[in-house]
Amino acid sequence: MIKNQIAVMGYKFSIYIAVIVFFASCIIGYGSNLATETLIQKAVIAGCLTGLTAFVLVKMLVKYIPDNIGMDKGENNQ
């Protein structure tokens, strides 16, 4: 149960990272006087790739969490 909760938190975190990178890319691109079309394209690509990378990283790291974490003598601690 705890393993699933950690995975869901990580997936949410990857979405937050993607959104933050998107807006940061927009701000940096606007500051460097890029054309709006180019700016949006580059910001979307940066946000998507960063979010995807974070998602895959979380998915890979969750595999290393033991299944019985949070269990005490075979019972679920909730």
Q: Is the pLDDT of residue 56 over 60?
A: yes
Encoded amino acid at 31, one letter: G
pLDDT in tens, 59-78: 999 999 887 776 666 555 55
pLDDT of 77? 53
Question: Where in the chain are the domains?
Answer: 2-62
* For range 4-11, the mean pLDDT: 91
How many residues are given for the chain?
78
Pairwise CA distance, residues 44 & 40, whole Å: 6
Q: Is the pLDDT of residue 13 over 70?
A: yes
Q: Is the pLDDT of residue 17 over 90?
A: yes
Residues in Cβ contact with 53 at an 8 Å cutoff, skipping those fewer than 6 apart: none
CA 61 distance to own-chain centroid: 13
Q: What percent of the chain has pLDDT over 90?
A: 56
Rounded to 10 degrees, what is the CA torsion of 4, 10, 16, 19?
A: -110
Pairwise CA distance, residues 5 & 11, whole Å: 10
pLDDT in tens, 27-39: 998 899 889 899 9
